[in-house]
Structure 1
């Protein structure tokens, strides 16, 4: 163990009192496999020493239930009780659920804090595109309004699993031991690779994977009462879309790289409806988009457009389709040109 890293210093780190240099030293120390177990032991000890973690929740609830049962079984006195002084059953129930909710909040806060320590989250704001090199040497570029969660410790040593929300382009480094790189999505789909280049789009309405080179295996995680599905092997040029119901559709594309054109602030449309462009504006730039006339919602746009911000893209789309738009802060309205 590096004797400059003490338990007291690590506790300061957990409490948010460590300096920037100390944080860097601890991060580097904890990433070494021989120190990881001790780091988590300190984390558990620190959590148990905090007041909100020393509360015996089960005992407290049991005592409250016994109190309620005792009050319920008491023999009433001959003197009539004043209704306003007697705790009402509804009030008791509300107090019980309030206490339970308070406990849940404390536990959730602890879980979130621990998650913040054990995971590094890379994120982009609406309209922002940014690239990072992960600890294993793999490269990731996040599209706007996206996030990637990566384990702080042990990444690339025992496993390489990340959680994506949004859209990202990956260039994965191959490991000598053929260790897999797994991109988990919120739509019960895992993208499993060894070393390759691919793009993943995953938001609430669908997940889409485009493979540039190498080989990728898609593993669909079944619902608890559903049978497991066979993995799907993707080859270069494959585009696979998975809808909300878990149905996969695969097709070949001539230029898979164009699906990552956003990394260069370029948008490629091929017969794309205005309604779909509106969703893109909402997802990438956080805009609320309204189309006043249903007819123009189905109008399509094709071509490649360079746009470093939302206004440039709005101008290009409106000129190509011959429509007009207005924008007030984050509200955009598309409407037909006056006759």
Structure 2
């Protein structure tokens, strides 16, 4: 009997039963019960899932973007302080032996992930296993920036201990001297979940578009892609205040959600929301609650790194409720089919959909 309570992230990644669960949903009941009984292992399990999901597509290879993202997560795990003001100096100050160990750990973990995933993807041709070189991810200048491409999620630990999960096609910036001021400030484009380390003397501020979200110590989700018509903030626990020049200031309590309309400059607060609906993406789960297709398709595009084309304008108003985990793009498209008259073609990074997704629209 395996003792999963003693497993590390790396142990989960190379465990056959764990990989089958992430890939195919095997033993779903066992893993659901395990996480419920051992909440202290949830972070490690979610991190292992995040690594494995990077190779969820059958054609997934070690592209530069994927490796850069994976390397960033690995450097976070081996405690290279990527958010410090003197990253280069700190790295150079480490002994040659320590740096060599960190580099070897990064390479080894990449190999573990790819080996575990390809073991369950025998159809991937050997010639698609692209070799790449590792590059230092540290930018120059006064800002640190984490960029997460489409098809990938990332988890980051900031210098103050705050944990940030960045969703696909998102980026976050913050000053190299993040810890030196009276506030802790980050700039977000896209979607992120923040578990903020409490520090009453230094509020944590998230800037997104023309809005500021100010917290002391709490957990919340923020969504506001450039193409979105609104900004959404969902509070899991704690308290946050939302401020903006053109919006009414508002303070959220646990299980509240604020929706800020960009064009109308309006604000709506929802009470007693099911927060997991808006945060499950951290665990690789897509949750749609009576949402129109015009909101769902951009999420699928970011999740699977594709562009989806529809020929039926009415189809975008079709509404769906679904909870999706460990599904390929083809499986997800099949879930949204409502009749045999719907067809789709996948050509590289483009998906072409013909027919209507629902029959109750003109």
> What TM-score, normalized to structure 2?
0.56
Aligned residue number for residue 335 of structure 1: 354
Structure 1 residues 123 and 25: alpha-carbon distance in aligned structure 2, compared to 1, 3 A threshold:
closer
Structure 1 residues 214 and 337: alpha-carbon distance in aligned structure 2, compared to 1, 3 A threshold:
closer
Aligned residue number for residue 185 of structure 1: 208
- For 1:67-86, list aligned pairs within 5 A: none
Return the alpha-carbon distance in structure 2 between the equivalents of residues 25 and 331 of structure 1.
40
Aligned residue number for residue 303 of structure 1: 322
Find the residue that maps to 1:117 and give its secondary structure.
Answer: coil
Return the alpha-carbon distance in structure 1 between the equivalents of residues 339 and 185 of structure 2.
42
Q: CA deviation digits over 1:82-127, x for unaligned, max 9? A: xxxxxxxxxxxxxxxxxxxxxxxxxxxxxxxxx8421111121111
Return the alpha-carbon distance in structure 1 between the equivalents of residues 257 and 223 of structure 2.
11
Aligned residues: 225
Aligned residue number for residue 145 of structure 2: 121
Q: In terms of Rg, which structure is larger? A: 1
Which of residues 26, 43, 51 in structure 1 aligns to 2:89? Answer: 26
Which of residues 130, 143, 147 in structure 1 aligns to 2:167? Answer: 143
What 5-or-longer segments of structure 1 have no aligned partner? 1-22, 31-114, 223-228
Asked if 2 retains the 8 angstrom alpha-carbon contact of 1:301 and 1:320, the reply is no
Return the alpha-carbon distance in structure 1 between the equivalents of residues 257 and 341 of structure 2.
31
Find the residue that maps to 1:303 and give its secondary structure.
Answer: strand
Within the alignment, does 1:196 sit opposite 2:218 as a pair? yes
Cα deviation, residue 144, structure 1 = 0.5
Within the alignment, does 1:219 sit opposite 2:243 as a pair? yes
Structure 1 residues 321 and 148: alpha-carbon distance in aligned structure 2, compared to 1, 3 A threshold:
farther
Which of residues 157, 169, 172 in structure 2 aligns to 1:133? Answer: 157
Aligned residue number for residue 300 of structure 2: 281
- For 1:1-40, list aligned pairs within 5 A: 24=87, 26-27=89-90
Find the residue that maps to 2:141 and give its secondary structure.
Answer: helix
Within the alignment, does 1:169 sit opposite 2:193 as a pair? yes
Find the residue that maps to 1:305 and give its secondary structure.
Answer: strand
Return the alpha-carbon distance in structure 1 between the equivalents of residues 340 and 275 of structure 2.
26
Q: CA deviation digits over 1:6-54, x for unaligned, max 9? A: xxxxxxxxxxxxxxxxx74625799xxxxxxxxxxxxxxxxxxxxxxxx
Asked if 2 retains the 8 angstrom alpha-carbon contact of 1:122 and 1:148, the reply is yes
Return the alpha-carbon distance in structure 2 between the equivalents of residues 321 and 145 of structure 1.
33
Cα deviation, residue 174, structure 1 = 0.5
Structure 1 residues 158 and 337: alpha-carbon distance in aligned structure 2, compared to 1, 3 A threshold:
closer
Asked if 2 retains the 8 angstrom alpha-carbon contact of 1:269 and 1:302, the reply is yes
Aligned residue number for residue 281 of structure 2: 262
What 5-or-longer segments of structure 2 have no aligned partner? 1-85, 94-138, 358-362
Aligned residue number for residue 250 of structure 2: 232
Asked if 2 retains the 8 angstrom alpha-carbon contact of 1:162 and 1:183, the reply is yes
* Higher RCO, 1 vs 2 (CA within 8 Å, ≥6 residues apart): 2
Cα deviation, residue 156, structure 1 = 5.7
Return the alpha-carbon distance in structure 2 between the equivalents of residues 162 and 271 of structure 1.
32
Find the residue that maps to 1:263 and give its secondary structure.
Answer: helix
Q: CA deviation digits over 1:184-236, x for unaligned, max 9? A: 012x11111000000000112221100000000000134xxxxxx54211111
Q: CA RMSD in A?
A: 2.9
Structure 1 residues 238 and 130: alpha-carbon distance in aligned structure 2, compared to 1, 3 A threshold:
same
Asked if 1 retains the 8 angstrom alpha-carbon contact of 2:292 and 2:317, the reply is yes
Cα deviation, residue 319, structure 1 = 6.6
Cα deviation, residue 336, structure 1 = 2.5
Cα deviation, residue 135, structure 1 = 0.6
Cα deviation, residue 247, structure 1 = 1.5
Return the alpha-carbon distance in structure 1 between the equivalents of residues 250 and 259 of structure 2.
12
Return the alpha-carbon distance in structure 2 between the equivalents of residues 230 and 275 of structure 1.
28
Aligned residue number for residue 45 of structure 2: none
Asked if 2 retains the 8 angstrom alpha-carbon contact of 1:135 and 1:156, the reply is no
